[in-house]
Structure 1
Amino acid sequence: MKQIFMAGIGASLLLTTASFITNLPGVIPGRQINSAVAQSPQKQQALKLVLAAEKQILVKDQQGKQKVNWQALKGQAVVKPGDILRYTLTGENTSDRPLKNLTLNQPIPKGMIYILKSANFTGDAKITYSIDGGSSFVTNPTFKFTLPNGKLETKPAPATAYTHIRLQLPLIAAKTTVKLTYQTQVR
């Protein structure tokens, strides 16, 4: 009885293993031994994205006028409430062909407040914003309020409500770089 039971377990393991092996990528099942398998080389990403952050440093020049400098944040950088940070999202098209209809979503980091109208992109792109965690994007986010008399009023969303920035690019030419900058303030 034990031998039959062990044979049954062995047969079921063999069948399970055979069906598992035929579903592995790169393994040709026995019934398809005459077919050819074409493998493509690993695709290189056409768009290389880099995000950098800088802290605003205010200094006075020789005439006593205040000047803005930007200091790169690296490693364990320390920021405090009220500090202004500038983020730069750089996208480099490393391919030999143009990239069309790209959408880049950038979250506003937690603990930060987006500085209204600080997003800047030179070139042909549409910048939109989200105030609902990235579910929807519009050019000018608004809130609807119900007034005591029952009427609805629409007001611009406050900077504290912004959660994401979206950049829609119709075209990035081959071997070119694009940059989006925006500023936030530490809460």
Structure 2
Amino acid sequence: MKRVSLAGLGAFALIATVSFIGQIPGIANGWHSDTAVAQNIKTQGQIQLRLEVEKQVVAQDRQGKQSQKWEPLKGQAVVRPGDVLRYTLSGENKSDRSVKNLILNQPIPKGMVYVLKSANVPNNAKIIYSIDGGRSFVENPTVKVTLPGGKVETKPAPAIAYTHIRLQIPLLAAKTTVSATYQTQVR
């Protein structure tokens, strides 16, 4: 399988106890494709990862009706402030054994903002988020806000605070693939 990478921005996936470090698409002009395989040494299982990016294109027909479609970013891709990108992260278990507790981490690229509630994950998976650079993850990140008068309240974290997305998959059967999508917007 191919991994799409974009110069200057990093992505990584943590598989059990083995780290996989790659590049993540974001804001740049050069795309490269090559193969990436992460291997869990403990069980000799192979997880092959793929990250694909599509740009949302909104079109208007002659009657003024708007439609949206997703176009893959290829070659000399250019994104502009306000553009929405959809990432698809796939992990394929190429081994003959099930993989337990698969964890895939994806940083939100610099210059991008996570689109709240845009993650779409398989039924058996859980998605959690980090707002502290990937040090901790929770389902619903919150921040403390000091109100006029000095009172401190806990509020949902704003989209701009999100730094990482983590996909937790309790079991990935042998010879199967799992995929998740999420969106970001160019600042």
- Give the residue type in structure 1 aligned to 2:167: L
Q: Deviations over 1:14-68 (max 9, x none)?
A: xxxxxxxxxxxxxxxxxxxxxxxxxxxxx77611000011100112357653221
Query: Residues of 1 paired with 2:176 and 2:70: CA distance?
Result: 25
* Counterpart position of 2:139: 139
Q: In structure 1, the residue corresponding to 2:81 is in which secondary structure?
A: coil
Shift of the alpha carbon at 1:142? 0.7
More helix by share: 1
Q: Is the 8 A contact 2:45 2:96 kept in 1?
A: no
Q: For each residue in 1:131-150, what CA deviation from the matched residue of structure 2 results, as whole angstroms up to 9, or x when unmatched?
A: 11101101111111233433
- Indicate whether 1:156 and 2:152 are aligned: no
Distance 1:120 1:94 in 2: 23
Q: Does 1:69 align with 2:69?
A: yes
Greater fraction of residues in strand: 2
1:99-125 per-residue CA deviation (whole Å, 9 max, x = no partner) reads: 100111000011001000001112211
Report what 1:7 is aligned to.
Answer: none
Q: TM-score under structure 1 normalisation?
A: 0.73
Structure 2 match to 1:55 = 55
In the other structure, the counterpart of 2:112 is 112
- C-alpha offsets along residues 67-122 of structure 1, whole Å, 9 cap, x if unaligned? 21111112320010000100000111111111100111000011001000001112
Aligned-partner Cα distance in 2 for 1:62–1:176: 44
The TM-score normalised by the length of structure 2 is 0.73
Larger Rg: 1
Aligned: 1:182 with 2:182: yes
Q: How many residues align?
A: 145
Q: After TM superposition, where is structure 1 displaced by more than 6 Å over at least 4 residues in a row?
A: none
Equivalent residue, structure 1, for 2:97? 97
